Structure 1
Amino acid sequence: MTNLPPQFWIGVPAVAIALAALAVAPCWAWPWIGAAALYTLFLSHYQNWRGPLTQAEIDRFLQATQHETNIEDFRAFLEADDGREFFMQNLVKFADSKVAHPETGAPTAPHKLVESYSKPFIKGLILRGGHPVLLLQRNGSDLDSWGPTSETGVNWGISNVMRYRSRRDLVELASNTDFDDIHRFKREAIVETISYPTKMLMAGFAGPRALVALILSLGAALTNIAILALY
């Protein structure tokens, strides 16, 4: 059963319970039962229900893939898996001018070229319960900086944050052979990048859990009012 996706072993019982409840509940309760079932289905996809990575999973992944980063740092990150979500901070410096398209050789704007990689990647991320959180573009020169790294002169043009459901999802994306052919678009468009995992300490906006709950509650409340008005 653990080999089945959580959408099956959590979602299917939730739907079955909801259908059974609909058969005996008064009609005014139907919208709330439906909203609860839909929210459970959402959580079955959005939350990690499989726990942290096992040592066998980590070893198998590291042996089967090549890495552009420090292998020991990456191993330490995977072995410290707590099974929870994390957020990848990415700093990106695009090429200053158009670059040759890897397939056609035509001069192409870097931000257009990288879309050939980013669109399939984001689709794969969403299918694994992740999503983009922020996409920021530099809007001026450095206003407050000091220390050794401030002297490197790197002008990060884009910064973005991606939410991962778990470190297992990062492993599955990184080892997905579907991205082998399109990774060259990213390499050609981006001349320098730094990516590091972060933990959310505070946010000034509601996340998908609260947003989906709010939308479903509002929909259930409005439907409930409509049902009561008809009866």
Structure 2
Amino acid sequence: MPMILHIILLVIFLSFACWYDGWWISPLTKEEGKVLYKALSGKRVEDQAKSSVNPKSVEVFTNTDNGKQFYMLNLIKDKTKNQKNEDIGAFESIDKNYAKVVFPLLFRHACHPVLVSKPLNTFSQPAIEEEWSAIFIIRYRSRRDLYKVVTNPAFQKAWKFKLSTIQSTTVIPSLPVLPGLNLKWILGLVLIFIGLIGT
């Protein structure tokens, strides 16, 4: 009986690891990179100017794709007033209308927040960081998953809600050296605990 339990737990872990790490995911093609750039920099609502996205950076991002996870650092500066001239708090950029669309999209592709924080005054000079209202670090399973999220019509439609509350966003993709929060290993520890209890 313990052997059967251990096999079941191992199958659960391997199935989750396969989905969470995207064992089958292939790198982006150059053509997909062009579509990604268009999705990141395109005009999403009529009164919104195009975003400042570096085409060379997106090209390098695509051409160096290894099909593995990466992290996206988002440095957000909120508007002080919204369209109704009402005061906006530091985390109003997590608009409910935006979050209820985007977060399910992220989770569907095994992507999730690693850190959501409000920055304090910086120690360094010049103190440009003091302009940031919020810091987000999002774990993406792969660059292809980012591609699928931002090219999704639901995401493009929801983006207008975020634009109503933020003034600017600095976005920096990065490769993990010492990975942060990893749900795969958390699940693994839980399954080991269940196995020990079952034994």
Q: 1:217 to 1:66 in 2, by over 3 A?
A: closer
Partners in 1 of 2:10 and 2:134 — Cα distance? 39
Partners in 1 of 2:32 and 2:58 — Cα distance? 14
How is 1:40-55 mapped onto 2 (pairs within 5 angstroms)?
A: 40-49=14-23, 50-55=25-30
How is 1:125-136 mapped onto 2 (pairs within 5 angstroms)?
A: 125-136=106-117
Over the residues paired in the alignment, what is the CA RMSD in angstroms?
A: 2.4
Report what 1:145 is aligned to. 124
Q: Is contact 1:31-1:221 (8 Å) kept? A: no
Partners in 2 of 1:172 and 1:36 — Cα distance? 30
Q: Is contact 2:113-2:137 (8 Å) kept? A: yes
Per-residue CA deviation, residues 185-208 of structure 1 (Å, 9 max, x unaligned), is 1111011210110122235x6622
Looking at CA atoms only, which structure, 1 or 2, has the larger radius of gyration?
Answer: 1
Q: How many residues align?
A: 186
Report what 1:32 is aligned to. 6
Structure 1 position 171, deviation (Å): 0.7
Q: Percent identity?
A: 24
How is 1:1-231 mapped onto 2 (pairs within 5 angstroms)?
A: 27-49=1-23, 50-59=25-34, 61-62=35-36, 65=39, 67=41, 68=51, 69-97=53-81, 99-100=82-83, 107=86, 109=88, 111-112=91-92, 114-138=95-119, 140-142=120-122, 144-146=123-125, 150=126, 152=128, 155-202=131-178, 207-224=182-199
Q: Is contact 2:80-2:88 (8 Å) kept? A: no
- SS of aligned partner of 1:123: helix
Q: 1:63 to 1:222 in 2, by over 3 A?
A: closer
Structure 1 position 134, deviation (Å): 0.4
Q: Is contact 1:122-1:132 (8 Å) kept? A: no
Structure 1 position 82, deviation (Å): 1.2
TM-score by length of 1: 0.72
* Gapped regions of structure 1 (runs ≥ 5): 1-26, 225-231
